[in-house]
A and B are shown apart, each in its own frame.
Chain A
């Protein structure tokens, strides 16, 4: 079964370590997104898997076989590039058939495979065109069809949607997922767009500074971040720094410099320690009445109101702390104006505390 295992993979460029002792497993048929800010090493990781970049240390196995030293042309891995990298001097059909031609397949066999691939990406009848006569979305589909035509053991995609406009991007998310699912192919997609990663992946691998921060299902990444980086990076987050006053197992009380005391949960907490609490913006309730059911509730004043269409963000000041609450733009929710007095409230479970 095509399972990809990276063990202690490291890649150094002059002066900095792009990938730092990275170990992860992509299971058979799984769709994994490598997510992180630019420069986090996700693209280098993808290039090491594809074989375009060597690993200075560590090893890779695919299907149980060591591929660390195998050149890319022997890996049987399909790659979709950010720029698509379609051959401009070849027609769509020739592009898609290129991999099979390199494998010495017969003309008839290639023609059939090209037809199938075109149907798979819903571009029937466009085989005779040249890539430049296609729209960006169509080129993207051709790139996908070309990578899939060789029936690869693994499909790699490097920011495949970043060159598409917003609406097409949403459409292609669904489309790529549909194709990946229908073929049951193991896939790794690199993106800096967390929305994309959360929407598409079976599991998301969050990377920062060449290291794997957390690898888990999208909901777990979002709801239960394992590190402060993940907590901060995923979603719209309020970060509050303070000192832990009391700790009881996994729960703690964080005292902020302005006097607020927050009840939250975390791991490895110790009393007296400096720590950061992270609260997602949409998990904060903003009401005129005191939310007596919530352990964390503080009177505040609305400072700024930002209309976002689907939601409204209110920046509020409470005892020297600045917090943003994101409320749905819905009649059931109260409306506020800058200067209004209100209450902020959230549960202890929505308040994740990280030491340091």
Chain B
């Protein structure tokens, strides 16, 4: 028994080493750097002055708040949309279902940049989406490019396939007799959803929540191209520190903050949804 356990660890060792090397090392280097003095702030490192600086300026707090808000909004829109799509997907037969899943994964294959460029064209004031409506006098010029709404629309689109696939896998794990049992006991469609489908899919709702929140919070392309300088988030802020002010230490601190905030959010999300997962 013990020998078998040792063997398991031995077999895991190469991949653990690789992970430590490829993920742990750069992360440690980044965190170490975030504790060092720089062109803007002089102190004797390692110390937390860079973090204190970022957390003491209203402007940066606004960026942090925007990052969390965008991620939360994206998650809150993507989960119900994804849930509905996953339920529809479940109703499709073999071939149609496979086609739908291929279609869903296409944006992931195409890469976010390609899709964001498309959104830039679509969301432009004179674009094919809004242009005709504006010209017809149906809506006022909405100015989606450079607005938070534009960023959220594109982020939702970006994270949606991940949400759908996660929720779909979760829904599929519920055995069909579960629904039939509920029906035979007199539960209508709404009751079945509320008492059977939803509670049994909560673990996958939690996973989808963590995935969509993390993807949205760490996304760079959407806020960069569709939000611009007026909608800075932690990721685009990091990029500004590196590309515009050449301050790698402050950039590292901002990235460190993002990492901490995401970890904190995952813990909070798990606690919030986990309460409802039984037994």
Chain A residues near B (Cβ < 8 Å): 50-52, 71-79, 81-83, 85-91, 98-99, 102-103, 130, 132, 146-147, 150
The answer to whether B191 and A102 touch across the interface, beta carbons within 8 angstroms, is yes
Between A and B, how many residue pairs show CB distances below 8 Å?
72
Task: Give chain A nearest CB distance to B179 CB in angstroms.
Answer: 9
Whether B42 is near chain A, meaning CB under 8 Å from some CB there, is no
Give the interface centre of A50, A78, A85 by most chain B CB atoms within 10 Å: A85
* Chain B residues near A88 (CB-CB < 8 A): 200, 279
* Chain A residues near B200 (CB-CB < 8 A): 87-89
Give the interface centre of A51, A72, A76, A103 by most chain B CB atoms within 10 Å: A72
Whether B278 is near chain A, meaning CB under 8 Å from some CB there, is yes
* Chain A residues near B185 (CB-CB < 8 A): 73, 98-99, 102, 146-147, 150
* Chain A residues near B181 (CB-CB < 8 A): 79, 81, 85-87, 146
Closest B-chain residue to A131, C-beta based?
Answer: B279
* Chain B residues near A98 (CB-CB < 8 A): 182, 185, 187, 195
Task: Give chain A nearest CB distance to B199 CB in angstroms.
Answer: 5
Cα distance, A76 to B183, chains bound together (Å): 10
Contact of A89 with B186 at beta-carbon distance under 8 Å, contacts A79-B181, A81-B177, A102-B191 already known: no
The answer to whether A52 and B187 touch across the interface, beta carbons within 8 angstroms, is no
Q: How many residues of B contact A (CB 8 A)?
A: 20
The answer to whether A83 and B177 touch across the interface, beta carbons within 8 angstroms, is yes
* Chain A residues near B177 (CB-CB < 8 A): 81-83, 85
Cα distance, A147 to B177, chains bound together (Å): 13
The answer to whether B184 and A50 touch across the interface, beta carbons within 8 angstroms, is yes
* Chain A residues near B182 (CB-CB < 8 A): 87, 98
Whether B178 is near chain A, meaning CB under 8 Å from some CB there, is yes
The answer to whether B175 and A83 touch across the interface, beta carbons within 8 angstroms, is yes
Cα distance, A74 to B184, chains bound together (Å): 8
Cα distance, A98 to B188, chains bound together (Å): 12
Closest B-chain residue to A74, C-beta based?
Answer: B186
Report which of A73, A79, A146 forms a contact with B187, defined as CB distance below 8 A. A73
The answer to whether A81 and B279 touch across the interface, beta carbons within 8 angstroms, is no
Report which of A75, A102, A132 forms a contact with B279, defined as CB distance below 8 A. A132
Contact of A73 with B278 at beta-carbon distance under 8 Å, contacts A85-B177, A85-B178, A102-B191 already known: no
User: Which applies to chain A's interface (DSSP): helix, strand, loop or mixed?
Assistant: loop
Contact of A89 with B199 at beta-carbon distance under 8 Å, contacts A73-B188, A81-B177, A83-B175 already known: yes
Task: Give chain B nearest CB distance to A76 CB in angstroms.
Answer: 8
* Chain B residues near A85 (CB-CB < 8 A): 175, 177-178, 180-181
Whether B261 is near chain A, meaning CB under 8 Å from some CB there, is no
Task: Give chain A nearest CB distance to B128 CB in angstroms.
Answer: 43
Cα distance, A98 to B191, chains bound together (Å): 11
* 5 additional contacts (CB under 8 A) given A83-B175, A88-B279: A51-B183, A52-B180, A72-B184, A77-B184, A89-B200
The answer to whether A147 and B175 touch across the interface, beta carbons within 8 angstroms, is no
Contact of A103 with B186 at beta-carbon distance under 8 Å, contacts A52-B180, A81-B181, A87-B178 already known: yes
The answer to whether A130 and B183 touch across the interface, beta carbons within 8 angstroms, is no
Cα distance, A136 to B277, chains bound together (Å): 23
Report which of B178, B184, B277, B279 forms a contact with A147, defined as CB distance below 8 A. B184
The answer to whether A130 and B279 touch across the interface, beta carbons within 8 angstroms, is yes
Whether B85 is near chain A, meaning CB under 8 Å from some CB there, is no
Cα distance, A132 to B182, chains bound together (Å): 18
Task: Give chain A nearest CB distance to B76 CB in angstroms.
Answer: 24
* Chain A residues near B195 (CB-CB < 8 A): 87, 98
Cα distance, A52 to B200, chains bound together (Å): 21
* Chain B residues near A87 (CB-CB < 8 A): 178, 181-182, 195-196, 200
The answer to whether B178 and A78 touch across the interface, beta carbons within 8 angstroms, is no
Cα distance, A81 to B182, chains bound together (Å): 12
Cα distance, A73 to B175, chains bound together (Å): 18
